[in-house]
Structure 1
């Protein structure tokens, strides 16, 4: 009998076929308690779990004593209790490589849209502003040859830096846990403290995961340090930026604007002032949302699960210590 895995998100037929070559695949709608109760016997025997958007915590793991590999079809893993997975000797895998270039594209788009007022200008034309009040066309700010500060120089940070430097002649400064040799060699990037970066950058681009250390890393004090002409771009994790502080800074014109693909609470509530402020560009967390990238993420998630359960996975493991456990 083939080992059982649980699939809790839709996958393309060709990828499901890859899984069924190795496993008995049981598809469920979600990981809610009602679903687990309904499929209790399946969860009890499942050795693998693949999907995204579900909460994997101690309560769920207690219902999955046979679990060995949990494959999230995403780069982030905020909803996974990594310590609990490690205690249960289950590895967590993710798919960071598949979305690097696409998220960098989206971040550069936010830079351009926020600086050049693209969404507002689109509406200005569509609502007749060009005809009725052409003299009221608001001016924007340049992107080319400005200074971009990147907080978090990982795969996406470097891909963004390449676009900005080679495509727009931008100077790159960055902050990371340690100096990034590739960034310094490929785009002549200069390491800076967060304080230095905030005071110097025309565009402050945040590409950080959410941890205890990064929660509200950008708050009131940090906005006070930024230039009045600066634009904040966040496509990492919403809670890295204190939204209350961001709204206050935008309303007081302490910064020029913001481009956001992530928020403290998602979906963004309609009552949030971020939905009405004219100097904010908002996207619905779609940094990786292209046909090609979403397929590649699912493909990598399937590959992670297969190799993980075969004991031959060597990359994309969040908690390798679980292998020792």
Structure 2
């Protein structure tokens, strides 16, 4: 034990990056991935000056009640619906995320999902692995063309914009809906046109969700919204589980009121709605849109930068670069 401030990292990550903390902190890192109970989190936080946590670590008033030394919770993710910012702010504890460094990898993966759904790649692979072959049949495994179709984006932040930029190569017009329109220069750079939500739902051939989860956006896509979409349309969710009513989506896919979907996130993660698992017109993946070596290393590095800055170290000393509740400073 030393008199250095203590940092706990709730999951294994990149040791060489975490080592940047060691000159200034006593660092402890979990050796295996696991989900901590609320009481376990409370015990962990009580002894720390700073923590680096993941999305499955839900931290609110109960978890920080005894964390009198804690100064910052650095989240490994751009989303932070696992953190109660009001409770953290009331306790004078800073919170940060890892925005921006994952924009491009998430945008790339979005297109992988979109193309996979359009061309039925997951179902075709399962069919092939089961020992079947329809490749020589002219009308087998017919998919949907992407080129020239309309891409709709709900949530046009930096990730949404990165997704839109890639549509140019496919000759796809882009429509989007946001809380407010983007500046005209940004719209031109994205080749995107602002529409209201109803126009977005009715006009998109491929609808991508790229908005944060909040009380306002929970079930932003539910049965009424799905009913407004074209029966030939496809939905791609790389944002957060809970933005889509998964039961309503499964029913629409089952009844072919929607042609297809591709989902990287789910309500009640890590559980997946059982009806989705039975469908052949949905591509499923386990919340891995940012999972590249370079991006996850960059996310870890940014979390470390946020911790260092909170304690007066590094180029951002005194001002964590991705602070979510700057009022605590």
What's the Cα RMSD here? 2.0
Which of 38, 49, 58 in structure 1 is aligned with 2:61? 58
Which residue of structure 2 aligns with residue 92 of structure 1? 95
Name the counterpart of 2:76: 73
Q: Distance in 2 between matches of 1:150 and 1:68?
A: 37
- 1:81 deviates by 0.9
Tell me: CA distance 1:6–1:195, structure 2 relative to 1, closer, same or farther (3 Å). Answer: same
Q: Give yes or no for contact 2:52–2:76 (8 Å, CA) kept in 1.
A: yes
Report what 1:317 is aligned to: 323
Alignment of 1:1-325 (within 5 A): 1-28=3-30, 31-32=36-37, 35=40, 43-52=45-54, 53-130=56-133, 134=137, 137-164=140-167, 166-181=168-183, 182-269=185-272, 272-310=274-312, 311-313=317-319, 315-323=321-329
Distance 2:136 2:174 in 1: 38
Which SS does the other structure have where 2:152 is aligned? strand
Query: Which segments of 5 or more consecutive residues in structure 1 lack a partner in the other structure?
Result: none
Change (3 A) 1:84 1:131: closer
Q: By how many angstroms is 1:304 displaced?
A: 1.0
- In structure 2, relative to structure 1, the CA distance for the partners of 1:199 and 1:47 (3 Å cut) is same
* Structure 1 CA distance for aligned equivalents of residues 73 and 186 of structure 2: 32
Cα pair 2:5 2:48 within 8 Å, conserved: yes
With the length of structure 2 as denominator, give the TM-score of the two structures. 0.91
Runs of 4+ in structure 1 off by over 6 angstroms are: none
- 8 Å CA contact 1:69, 1:309 repeated in 2: no
Separation in 2 of the partners of 1:188 and 1:126?
Answer: 40
What 5-or-longer segments of structure 2 have no aligned partner? Answer: none
Cα distance between partner residues in 2 of 1:26 and 1:71:
15
The structural deviation recorded for 1:96 is 1.5
Where 1:292 maps in the other structure, the secondary structure is helix
CA contact (8 A) 2:42 2:64 kept: no
Size of the aligned set, in residue pairs, is: 318
CA distance in 1, matches of 2:320, 2:68: 24
Looking at both structures, which has the greater relative contact order when contacts are Cα pairs under 8 Å and sequence separation is at least 6?
Answer: 1
TM-score (norm 1): 0.92
Once residues 279 and 47 of structure 2 are traced to their aligned partners in structure 1, the CA distance between those partners, rounded to angstroms, is: 51
Deviates more, 1:2-11 or 1:102-111: 2-11
